[in-house]
A = this chain, B = another copy of it.
């Protein structure tokens, strides 16, 4: 493209009515012309004075564009002799190097798609839901009840005089006053035995498991997971190359078979206080056996204690960590279900001999920060707001749980069992064997009610059909109507359109019955 043609082309392209400044337009046009080869390497550009005149724009604009083209390597300027288009064409020898004999001898990787094998599996098996709020989303607390005003007041006060230390990266382990507050809380509430030093603040259970697995297990190592278990934990383990060995659970919790016991895993991930998702408690005999097995075979136990503060009818049960004398347990928990999930604050309690490694590891892998939020949280806990809130929510969720159980019983009698309702934020509503819980879940979602199919939690063949049904985040008065919708969906899929034995009333008049 000769100079005069360039000016004409640019003049035709420039849109002086656009909100895009002339500088940006001209820069992009010239870059495009050079990249596409319209302006060939070696072409001399018109002088800035000439081009500015031709285009009717300020000469300074053209000068800035030429400067930027020079800085980015599109053109070369030689003082006195003008500005030339640089040769920036890709080096074809570099793009397609001549393969050598050694390379030919080694079979290349098989052709792959965009994703990796593990990435594709992660996406294919993902359990995460598109909606995260509403009846009967399991595992989500009622964030509308969170004392946002108290939180905001503490936050405003701390932001009034900010120390630079709290705005930069966190030292490994997290904000010390928060670790101290948490160790006090965990000792009383969860019978966890630890010093503040043993606490590592993370962004939640996912990060805690991720860190433990990367520091303690290698690609190809095996992990026992409960069958069924939380899909998210499974995804995190698999994304780190861990092979999963699903171990059955019965009424006493984890129940390894003799064959399982003969092959000690590197890691055992368990939910002893409240099996997720089925809800049973691991018996003391099983706990002691597991701890002794772990000690003898050097198995790391990850105890995921995600929601056992909410136990209805009895005090919370002690953690497995509190029974551990040989330092084989990594205890992980989160404040998301106690306060609000978006908080993204979790913690892990690690044996003393691992403290140094975990502090370095968390800083090296994730570059933690969020110290201002940790400071707010520390004040919140030290002011007693955490225990007050948990106590209040325990009562509230207990009432909602009862309302929902009553609705189930009124509608289905004992045709559908309610499982694992002693603690937590959800229970499992059993479905008849012939009924596909995934199909019921999808139909329920379309009708506006969220549940989760038990199927998502099984790694191998699912052993029962059921729906994880969360009551915590549903206001009392919304439970009846939402359950009526769910009941209609279940009836259609589980019993055709027939009413079941125990049904009293009809699904179309639920409001009167529950309100």
A122 interface residue per 8 A CB criterion: yes
Whether B368 contacts A167 by the Cβ 8 Å rule is no
Contacts A215-B122, A289-B91 given; does A296 touch B96 at CB 8 Å: yes
A219-B370 contact given A68-B315, A236-B365, A285-B87, CB 8 Å threshold: no
Beta-carbon contact of A315 and B71 below 8 Å = yes
Number of interface residues of A (CB under 8 A): 127
Residue in chain B with minimal CB distance to A102: B262
Roughly how many angstroms separate A148 CA and B356 CA in the complex, as a whole number?
Answer: 33
Residue-wise interface mask of A (329-365) relative to B, using a CB-CB cutoff of 8 A (1 in contact, 0 not): 0000000100011111000000001101100110111
Known: A215-B122, A240-B240. A169 touches B315 (CB 8 A): no
Does A221 make an interface contact (CB < 8 A)? yes
**Does chain B have a CB within 8 A of A67?**
yes
Q: Known interface pairs A285-B89, A314-B68. Does A95 touch B296 (Cβ–Cβ under 8 Å)?
A: yes
A residues 117-157 in Cβ contact with B at 8 Å = 117-119, 122-123, 126-128, 130, 132-133, 140, 143-144, 146, 148, 151-152, 155-156
From residue A494, how far is it (CB to closest CB) to chain B in Å? 29
User: At the interface, yes or no: A366 with Cβ under 8 Å from chain B?
Assistant: yes
* Residue from B206, B281, B343 in contact with A366 in the complex, judged by beta carbons closer than 8 Å: B206
**Chain A residues numbered 285-299 whose CB sits less than 8 Å from any CB in chain B:** 285, 287-289, 291-293, 296, 298
The answer to whether B239 and A214 touch across the interface, beta carbons within 8 angstroms, is: yes
* A175 → chain B closest CB, angstroms: 10
A398 at the interface (CB under 8 A from B): no
* Chain B residues positioned under 8 Å from A368 (CB to CB): 344
Number of this chain's copies in the complex: 2
A8 at the interface (CB under 8 A from B): no
The 8 A CB mask of A310-330 against B (1 = contact, 0 = none) is 000011011000010000000
Q: Which of A108-116, A434-442, A480-488 contacts B (4 or more CB under 8 A)?
A: A108-116
Name the B residues within 8 Å of A261 (CB-CB).
Answer: 94, 97
CA A172 to CA B126, docked complex, whole Å: 12
Is A232 within 8 A of B364, CB to CB? yes
Which residue of B100, B140, B203 is within 8 Å of A262 (Cβ)?
B100
Smallest Cβ-Cβ distance to A231: which chain B residue: B364
Q: How far is the CB of A431 from chain B (nearest CB, A)?
A: 25
Q: Quick check: A132 and B171 within 8 Å, CB to CB?
A: yes
Q: Which residues of A contact B (CB under 8 A)?
A: 24, 31, 35, 64, 67-68, 71-74, 86-91, 94-100, 103, 112, 114-119, 122-123, 126-128, 130, 132-133, 140, 143-144, 146, 148, 151-152, 155-156, 159-160, 162, 164-172, 188, 203-207, 210, 214-219, 221, 232, 235-236, 239-241, 256, 258, 261-263, 266, 281, 283-285, 287-289, 291-293, 296, 298, 314-315, 317-318, 323, 336, 340-344, 353-354, 356-357, 360-361, 363-373, 473
8 interchain residue pairs of minimum CB distance: A342-B369, A119-B215, A73-B284, A152-B159, A143-B167, A167-B340, A90-B292, A88-B284
7 A–B pairs (Cβ distance < 8 Å), ordered by A:
A97-B261, A114-B353, A128-B363, A130-B171, A148-B162, A155-B156, A169-B341
Query: 17 new A-B pairs (CB below 8 Å) besides A71-B314, A95-B292, A342-B369?
Result: A31-B318, A71-B317, A73-B284, A87-B285, A88-B288, A90-B285, A91-B285, A116-B218, A118-B214, A122-B361, A128-B360, A128-B364, A144-B164, A206-B367, A210-B365, A239-B240, A344-B367
